[in-house]
């Protein structure tokens, strides 16, 4: 077993591996101490420093000083922000997607919201990474994709050159413990350290998932002034010694929870360690009441370990393998010198876990020690992220095989060519070659042979091999369609929004197809429907052209169809234009996540007309009681103001009075037809309840079609010149509070974010409503409509297939792709050969992997096709070529299930307990009986376990298993001692197992 590499293939520097990358010009040694502001000191790393004087001079990123940053942002906002052309933007986005990681590369951390808007083509201002930081340090708990994204340093430099801003947060590419490249994000989480001699003193120290326990321990010991060689480090969760942490392990391999306790246990004065009570995976077990039930035992979820629990329960209910471990037969086969194994530790820990499960006295056990062993053998499963149960199963079977391989020294055997020899001769020859190097119970029970045939398309050369297989990975019919979850919003705001499912092939469909589907479901013509998308990532709202394709719609975008007006039956000359309307609170920087489409008729000539149309559209969302109360209260104030002005005018000169009298006549004449406003009259904005300036208060109320009486509070009377108060992104107070009429339900901004003072003669464009009083309009119904949709997903065209249909797809001949050619020894070059698989022989235990996950360039999808598989009598005779082997008739005994999507989800297992001859569902620590075996056939079935019928034997009773455990536990120590002698010589005996 090779040792896992560290972060840099060199000796770990404890002062830098676990430190923060500082974003300032000074450096200091990191001690883990907290500063007065609650931050920690951190050293400057090379990733944060300019590489040369030239780089330093060109550095336009914002200093970390907050005052400077705010001043810089203000300066940037005072002038229009320069934007990259679409072609340049697309190049940067593509570079970010396709750049391959290489060790030593520099990548910058960038605010996710800013990048999402940039990638979507939205106008953006200066880069602002300040929300990602606490002081000079990146905030704990942030995650890529949710809070930030990473871009190559070349992309970062270009973005800063054009947009400015900052601060710069640069990270390096390293090799992780799985020997793969990744960006060392250095996102810390805090732990509470204490030492055994003074448990009252607690020091908060940051930890990093990709540092070793040794590195973390050294920094902690430095803080406590202890020698690392005299300290053991313990997971001290809830102030109990949960498990000792080994120096070579990684922090991600632990089960740390943020801010939990960690104990530094000091060596005693005599040089010994304090006595430790045995603490393994039996901790947190709970004792079963009543009689023992072997195998009916759950497995605790250690943190996203349901995938492991599912695979373990399936293997646990594999009778030949379980019996092999319960009887301690495995002890004599342990291979502790195999460099490809785990020194026998994986098999030993697996045996211990199986004995706990089959003791029958526990409701559940926590497989912590076993998880540590699987991580040693397959470090890609380190930590507590979700993984694939089939991948875990493959590594586990391979690991058990290497730990139990009876071949201590593998001979070198040169393969032979096909040369036209009979298939059975070649198959037997290659199986013997395989067995000469691999001989274990895993090989005996789980492996058989596949026939692989390659034919050169140029010279017709044939190559045939017989390769061993541990499981069959069967494809599912791959043609899929996307299920769009569409929200339909009626033009009548009183009608609640509804959600509809639309299934289309995204690659070949357009927006028109969605509109036609929705049209059928809501009985509204497509001409009265508008398709839109709303990105929750960038808060961008777009109208989708009916001719536009659907493959660019993100799975998490909301898809909305609005009913709109397109014609007026009573007046054919009226033409409608569709306007995007955003809403925003007066004191908020962000728009509401509930834009809508407004149908504006050509009869709208003034902003007052537009105001009425908007009120009609938002009718159901208006708070009538509050609006009426505000309007009524200000009508009294208006009358008092008018009386005061009239009294003042009584003392004026006769000429002035005559002039006012003439004006009053004109005003009253205009008031008699308040709704007939001259098309040329655009001198006063009709914003909110304002009537034209020539409309007197005596003209009554401004009537909307919904019956609202909006007082004609004339701007000339109030002394307010609303046109003088423009709006831009730097001035949130559109109209000063002391000059604002409280009766304004909203103010209308045009596409340039200024107060709309007139209706454009061409196209209105996008408008924004500024809600002065958040209680006057209730946007919750629209917000709920936007948030109620689930992510769109790929669904199969064939919703149901048989298992045999999947096998037929597996053995179908196909041509190799251009990226995976085969070297033809006759042509002396790589060719796209035709390849065909066949099942040559069938193993005693057949593991079938249903390939539900499809991998595309930028995303992965799950196929929820229902695969119909038999519980009993699966006959593969038509597919198995070797007719001399036992008849391949199988019975199902276990299923690993996956529920949910590719990005998350949950694993469970169904398994048949051979002692009780009943099916059970294993859901982590919970176990329940399945009364109808047919219920195990679901769309979630992922890995199937079958046993060949000729290998079955009478079921073992629970009493037999319990007695075997008792007898074998007494002799386990003797077998362990004798095994040391067995490992000194090569054994050629075959594995003998007892069928149960």
Q: What is the mean pLDDT of the chain?
A: 75
User: Are the C-beta atoms of residues 767 and 750 closer than 8 Å to each other?
Assistant: yes
Catalytic site residue from 306, 456, 532, 824: 306
User: Are the C-beta atoms of residues 358 and 295 closer than 8 Å to each other?
Assistant: yes
Please report, rounded to a whole number, the percentage of residues in the chain having pLDDT higher than 90.
31
Residue 35: burial class (beta carbons within 10 Å; 0-12, 13-18, 19+):
exposed
Spell out the residues 6+ positions from residue 526 whose beta carbon is closer than 8 angstroms to its own.
512, 515, 516, 519
Place 287 in a pLDDT band, splitting at 50, 70 and 90. Answer: confident
Looking at the predicted structure, is the pLDDT value of residue 44 above 50?
no
- According to DSSP, residue 340 is labeled T
Place 263 in a pLDDT band, splitting at 50, 70 and 90. Answer: very high
Looking at the predicted structure, is the pLDDT value of residue 593 above 90?
no
Looking at the predicted structure, is the pLDDT value of residue 30 above 50?
no
- The region of weakest confidence among 171-185, 376-390, 542-556, 899-913 is 171-185
CA 792 to chain centre: 14
Spell out the residues 6+ positions from residue 156 whose beta carbon is closer than 8 angstroms to its own.
108, 110, 168, 170
CA angle 939, 942, 943 (to 5 degrees): 140
Place 958 in a pLDDT band, splitting at 50, 70 and 90. Answer: low
Looking at the predicted structure, is the pLDDT value of residue 406 above 60?
yes
Both tokens of 695, joined, read 């409309």
Q: What is the pLDDT of residue 156?
A: 93
Mean pLDDT throughout 163-174? 88
pTM: 0.52
3-class DSSP state of 836: strand
Q: What is the pLDDT of residue 7?
A: 31
User: Are the C-beta atoms of residues 488 and 524 closer than 8 Å to each other?
Assistant: no
Looking at the predicted structure, is the pLDDT value of residue 538 above 80?
no
Looking at the predicted structure, is the pLDDT value of residue 436 above 60?
yes
536 catalytic residue (yes or no): no
Place 776 in a pLDDT band, splitting at 50, 70 and 90. Answer: confident
Half-sphere exposure of 467 (CA within 13 A, CB side): 12
Strands, E, within 819-940: which ranges? Answer: 822-824, 829-831, 834-839, 845-851, 853-855, 860-862, 866-868, 874-875, 889-899, 906-913, 918-923, 926-930
Both tokens of 11, joined, read 């000796």
Other Cβ atoms closer than 10 A to 546: 16
> CA 600, CA 759: separation in Å to the nearest integer?
11
Q: What is the pLDDT of residue 977?
A: 44
Looking at the predicted structure, is the pLDDT value of residue 191 above 60?
yes
Query: Where do we find the tokens 């006057």?
Result: 776
CA 772 to chain centre: 37
- The region of weakest confidence among 55-69, 619-633, 774-788 is 55-69
Model confidence pLDDT, tens digit, residues 684-703? 333 333 333 333 333 333 33
3-class DSSP state of 957: coil
- The region of weakest confidence among 117-126, 263-272, 787-796 is 787-796
- The region of weakest confidence among 531-535, 628-632, 733-737, 798-802 is 733-737
Cis peptide before 167 (omega within 30 of 0): yes
Q: What is the pLDDT of residue 303?
A: 80
Query: Where do we find the tokens 């101490």?
Result: 33
Residue 21 or residue 219, greater confidence: 219
Q: What is the pLDDT of residue 638?
A: 55
Spell out the residues 6+ positions from residue 684 whose beta carbon is closer than 8 angstroms to its own.
690, 692, 693, 715, 716, 722, 723
Both tokens of 506, joined, read 């995204």
Looking at the predicted structure, is the pLDDT value of residue 509 above 80?
yes
Residue 725 or residue 230, greater confidence: 230
Mean pLDDT throughout 89-111? 87
Looking at the predicted structure, is the pLDDT value of residue 56 above 50?
no
Place 724 in a pLDDT band, splitting at 50, 70 and 90. Answer: very low
Looking at the predicted structure, is the pLDDT value of residue 12 above 50?
no
Q: Which of 366, 298, 318 is nearest to 911 (CA)?
A: 318
Place 876 in a pLDDT band, splitting at 50, 70 and 90. Answer: very high
906 catalytic residue (yes or no): yes
Mean pLDDT throughout 945-966? 69
Model confidence pLDDT, tens digit, residues 207-231? 887 788 888 999 999 999 999 999 9
- The region of weakest confidence among 22-36, 201-215, 769-783, 784-798 is 22-36
Looking at the predicted structure, is the pLDDT value of residue 737 above 60?
no
Both tokens of 265, joined, read 């246990």
Q: What is the pLDDT of residue 183?
A: 84
Strands, E, within 385-539: which ranges? Answer: 448-455, 462-469, 472-475, 480-489, 498-504, 529-535
């Amino acid at each position: 077993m090779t040792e896992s590499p560290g972060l840099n293939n060199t000796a770990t520097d404890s002062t830098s591996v676990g430190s923060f990358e500082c974003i300032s010009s000074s450096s200091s040694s990191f001690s883990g101490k907290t500063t007065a502001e609650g931050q920690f000191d951190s050293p400057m790393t090379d990733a944060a420093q300019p590489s040369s004087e030239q780089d330093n001079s060109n550095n336009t990123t914002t200093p970390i000083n907050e005052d400077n940053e705010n001043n810089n942002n203000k300066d940037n906002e005072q002038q229009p922000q320069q934007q990259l052309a679409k072609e340049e933007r697309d190049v940067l986005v593509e570079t970010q997607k396709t750049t391959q990681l290489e060790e030593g590369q520099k990548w910058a951390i960038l605010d996710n919201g800013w990048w999402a808007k940039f990638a979507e083509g939205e106008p953006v201002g200066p880069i602002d990474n300040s929300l990602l930081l606490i002081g000079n340090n990146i905030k704990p708990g942030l995650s890529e994709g949710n809070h930030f994204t990473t871009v190559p340093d070349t992309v970062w430099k270009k973005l800063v050159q054009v947009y400015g801003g900052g601060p710069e947060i640069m990270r390096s590419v390293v090799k992780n413990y799985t020997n793969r490249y990744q960006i060392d994000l250095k996102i810390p989480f805090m732990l509470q350290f204490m030492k055994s001699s003074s448990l009252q003193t607690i020091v908060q120290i940051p930890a990093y998932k990709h540092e070793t326990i040794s590195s973390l321990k050294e920094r902690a010991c430095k803080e406590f002034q202890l020698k690392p060689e005299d300290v053991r480090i313990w997971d001290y969760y809830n102030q109990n010694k949960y498990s000792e942490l080994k120096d070579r392990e990684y922090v991600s391999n632990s089960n740390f929870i943020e801010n939990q306790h960690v104990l530094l246990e000091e060596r005693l004065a005599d040089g010994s360690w304090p006595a430790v009570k045995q603490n393994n995976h039996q901790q947190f077990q709970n004792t079963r009441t009543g009689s023992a039930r072997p195998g009916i035992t759950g497995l605790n979820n250690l943190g996203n370990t349901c995938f492991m629990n599912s695979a373990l329960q399936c293997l646990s209910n594999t009778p030949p393998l379980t019996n092999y471990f319960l009887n301690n037969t495995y002890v004599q086969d342990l291979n502790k010198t195999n460099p490809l194994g785990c020194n026998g530790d994986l098999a030993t820990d697996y045996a211990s876990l199986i004995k706990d499960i089959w003791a029958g006295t526990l409701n559940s056990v926590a497989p912590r020690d076993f998880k540590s062993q699987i991580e040693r053998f397959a470090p890609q499963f380190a930590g507590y992220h979700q993984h694939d149960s089939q991948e875990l199963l493959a590594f586990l079977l391979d690991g058990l095989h290497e730990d139990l391989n009876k071949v201590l020294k593998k001979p070198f055997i040169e393969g032979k060519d096909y040369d036209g020899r009979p298939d059975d001769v070649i198959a037997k020859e290659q199986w013997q070659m395989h067995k000469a190097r691999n001989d274990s119970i895993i090989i005996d029970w789980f492996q058989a042979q596949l026939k692989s045939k390659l034919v050169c398309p140029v010279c017709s050369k044939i190559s045939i091999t017989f390769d061993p297989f541990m499981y069959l990975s069967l494809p599912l019919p791959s043609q899929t369609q996307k299920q769009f979850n569409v929200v339909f919003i009626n033009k009548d705001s009183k009608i609640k929004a509804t959600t509809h499912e639309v299934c289309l092939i995204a690659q070949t469909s357009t927006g028109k197809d969605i509109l036609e589907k929705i049209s059928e479901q809501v009985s509204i013509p497509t001409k009265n429907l508008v398709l839109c998308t709303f990105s929750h990532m960038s808060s961008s709202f777009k109208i989708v052209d009916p001719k536009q394709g659907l493959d660019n719609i993100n799975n998490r975008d909301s898809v909305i169809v609005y009913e709109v007006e397109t014609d007026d039956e009573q007046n054919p000359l009226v033409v409608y234009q569709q306007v995007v309307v955003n809403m925003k609170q007066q004191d908020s920087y962000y728009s509401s996540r509930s834009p809508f489409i407004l149908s504006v008729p050509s009869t709208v000539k003034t902003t007052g007309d537009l105001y009425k149309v908007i009120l009609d559209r938002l009718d159901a969302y208006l708070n009538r009681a509050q609006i009426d109360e505000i309007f009524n209260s200000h009508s009294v104030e208006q009358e008092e103001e008018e009386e005061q002005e009239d009294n003042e005018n009584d003392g004026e000169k006769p000429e002035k009075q005559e002039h006012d009298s003439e004006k009053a006549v004109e005003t009253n004449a205009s008031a008699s037809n308040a709704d007939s406003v001259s098309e040329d009259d655009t001198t006063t904005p009709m914003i909110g309840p304002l009537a034209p300036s020539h409309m007197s208060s005596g003209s009554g109320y401004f009537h909307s079609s919904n019956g609202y009486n909006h007082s004609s509070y004339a701007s000339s009377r109030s002394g307010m010149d609303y046109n003088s108060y423009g709006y831009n992104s730097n001035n949130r107070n559109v109209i000063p509070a002391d000059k604002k009429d409280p009766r304004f339900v909203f103010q209308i901004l045009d596409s340039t974010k200024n107060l709309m003072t007139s209706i454009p003669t061409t196209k209105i464009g996008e408008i924004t409503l500024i809600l002065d009083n958040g209680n006057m309009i209730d946007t919750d119904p629209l917000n709920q409509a936007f948030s109620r949709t689930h992510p769109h997903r790929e669904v199969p065209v064939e919703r149901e297939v048989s298992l045999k249909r999947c096998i037929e797809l597996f053995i179908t001949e196909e041509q190799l792709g251009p990226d995976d050619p085969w070297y033809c020894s006759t042509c002396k070059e790589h060719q796209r050969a035709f390849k065909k698989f066949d099942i040559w022989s069938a193993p005693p235990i057949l593991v079938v992997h249903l390939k539900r996950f499809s991998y595309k360039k930028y995303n992965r999808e799950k196929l929820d096709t229902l695969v119909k598989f038999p519980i009993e009598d699966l006959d593969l005779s038509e597919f198995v070529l070797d007719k001399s082997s036992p008849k391949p008739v199988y019975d199902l005994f276990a299923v690993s299930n996956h529920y949910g999507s590719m990005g998350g989800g949950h694993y469970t297992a169904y398994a048949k307990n051979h002692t009780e001859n009943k099916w059970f569902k294993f859901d982590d620590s919970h176990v329940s009986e399945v009364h109808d075996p047919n219920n195990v056939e679901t769309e979630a079935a992922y890995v199937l376990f079958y046993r060949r019928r000729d290998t079955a034997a009478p079921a073992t009773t629970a009493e037999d298993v319990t007695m075997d455990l008792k007898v074998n536990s007494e002799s386990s120590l003797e077998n362990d001692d004798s095994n040391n002698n067995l490992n000194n010589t090569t054994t050629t005996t075959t594995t003998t197992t007892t069928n149960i």
